[in-house]
Amino acid sequence: MGAQLRVYRQKIKSAQTTKKITKAMELIAASRIQKAQARVTASTPYSRAITRAVSAVATYSNVEHVLTTEPEKIERAAVVILTSDRGLAGAFNSQVLREAEELSELLRSQGKEVVYFLVGRKAVGYFAFRRRASEQQWTGSSENPEFELAKDIAEAVLEAFLRDASDGGVDEIHIVYNKFVSMMTQSPEVVRLLPLEIVEGVEEPDATVQPLYEFEPDVGTVLDALLPVYIESRIFNALLQSSAAKHAATQKAMKSASDNADNLITDYTRLANNARQAEITQQISEIVGGADALVAAK
Amino acid sequence: MAALNVSVVSADREVWSGEADMVVARTVEGEIGILPGHEPMLAILAGGEVRVTLPGGEKVTANAEDGFLSVQSDVVQLVASRAVLT
């Protein structure tokens, strides 16, 4: 076998092996999307109930609360970045990090100092490589986020929010994550968590006039208990969205990797055939040439 | 008499939902019973048992931890970060 042919055969082998791996990863991701999506759906009643309760409080009372009032001057803003722990997901992590960079740029141009809370090994790696500081980090459970993680993050950001800016507290909290739009699209989203804004999905108040809500024990206490829970549920939702989006992104990336491997295999097979044919042609012409020479020598 | 539309929701899923005649829950101020036609209310739950009486007289109990209870036009929602049926 000619050297050329052997090289092609090797390349075909290697592309085939890669394809097997990427194909397997694609299938795994596909099955995980289903699960992750189911979790997003399963958590919807909770976030909807909380959103409804928060909007009820907002509509039926006019209390001032620390978490809802806009500070006069915002000195420091926190950015929570949700990435994945593993790569091989196409632009999934880079697009969310790019979005976070743009947001930081914007915040800095408004004269705010930016501190970071990072979730996922990819964000931590990105920051470590650039030797940039971050306030707090969580890694290892972004694939299948538990509610505890959301609770932890909420606690940390609320604690920072309630601290005075002079003690290193923050006055504003943003969260950047990948939203699961569809199997094919995941778009980076920036949401300002605190101070509270009107959020998507707030229930329209009923057309009928509702009697005033009764709050037990009183509005302030209810709000005190409700708002942290609301933040938790927003973060939990973002985590679940991000994990579903990650699996979708992985599936897409692995699908195109498998397709590319297919293309490579076809190309190399053509080249290998070509090389084999060239070899055969050469051998024939050598034989013919040799036979001719023998006849001529007689 | 109209029935209550009850749902018990925890952070990661809906634990139970259905029609009921009465809901008894423990709030931070004490136990409260809710019958159809209750005025709109938002209350903070103290950890503990929630009893839901079904139209047939059967009872469903659940354990709810740090959550709240909302009542609005006969829709009762018990929302807790952790809730399990017992």
- Domains: count for chain B: 1
Mean pLDDT of A97-104: 93
Predicted model pTM: 0.84
Host domain of residue B44: 4-85
- Collect contacts of A144-150 with beta carbons under 8 A, ≥24 apart: A144/A36, A144/A243, A145/A236, A145/A239, A145/A240, A145/A242, A145/A243, A147/A232, A147/A236, A147/B11, A147/B12, A147/B81, A147/B82, A149/A119, A149/A239, A150/A232, A150/A233, A150/A235, A150/A236, A150/A239, A150/B11
Mean pLDDT of A95-109: 92
Contact (CB, 8 A) for A77 and A110 = no
How large a percentage of chain B has pLDDT more than 90? 0
Q: Please give the Cα distance from A103 to A84 (Å, whole number).
A: 19
DSSP-assigned beta bridge partners for residue B31: B26
* A42 → closest Cβ in B13, B27, B79: B13
Q: Which two tokens stand for residue A167?
A: 């003690």
pLDDT above 80 for A160: yes
Cis peptide before A195 (omega within 30 of 0): yes
DSSP-assigned beta bridge partners for residue A81: A118, A176
Question: Mean of the per-residue pLDDT values for chain A?
Answer: 86
Mean pLDDT of B59-81: 85
Residue B6 touches chain A, beta carbons under 8 Å: no
Neighbours of B85 (CB within 10 A): 12
Contact (CB, 8 A) for A171 and A77 = yes
Residue B77 touches chain A, beta carbons under 8 Å: yes
Mean pLDDT of B27-38: 87
The pLDDT-based confidence of B58 (bands split at 50, 70, 90) is confident
Cβ–Cβ gap B11/A46 under 8 Å = yes
Q: Which residue of A has its CA nearest to B76?
A: A49
ipTM exceeding the 0.90 mark: no
Q: Which segments within chain A are labelled E, that is strand? A: 76-82, 113-119, 136-138, 172-180, 186-194, 214-216
Strand, coil or helix: what is A70? coil
Mean pLDDT of A69-87: 85
* B9 → closest Cβ in A39, A46, A236: A46
Look at residues A267, A288, A274 and name the one whose alpha carbon lies nearest to residue A2: A274
Residue A234 touches chain B, beta carbons under 8 Å: no
Residue A230 touches chain B, beta carbons under 8 Å: no
- A63's CB contacts (< 8 A; 6+ apart) are A57, A219, A220, A223
| Cβ neighbourhood burial of A296 (10 Å; 0-12, 13-18, 19+) | exposed
Strand, coil or helix: what is A280? helix
Instruction: Among A37, A41, A46, pick the best mutation site for testing chain B contact (most B Cβ within 10 A).
Output: A46
Identity of the residue numbered A121:
R
CA distance A79 to chain B (A): 24
DSSP assignment of B17-66 equals: EEEESEEEEEETTEEEEE-TTPPPEEEEBPSEEEEEE-TTS-EEEEEEEE
Residue B67 touches chain A, beta carbons under 8 Å: yes
- B43's CB contacts (< 8 A; 6+ apart) are A215, A216, A222, B25, B27, B28, B29, B32, B68, B69, B70
Q: Tens of pLDDT along A184-217?
A: 888 998 988 877 765 444 455 554 555 577 787 7
Residue A200 touches chain B, beta carbons under 8 Å: no
Task: Using an 8 Å CB-CB cutoff, list chain B residues near A236.
Answer: 11
pLDDT above 60 for B19: yes
Q: What is the pLDDT of residue B66?
A: 77
Q: Which residue of A has its CA nearest to B10?
A: A46
Q: Which two tokens stand for residue A151?
A: 């609770």
Q: The domain A27-252: what is its CATH number?
A: 3.40.1380.10
Q: What is the pLDDT of residue A196?
A: 75
CATH classification at residue B20: 2.60.15.10
Least-confidence region, from A11-15, A81-85, A88-92, A128-132: A88-92
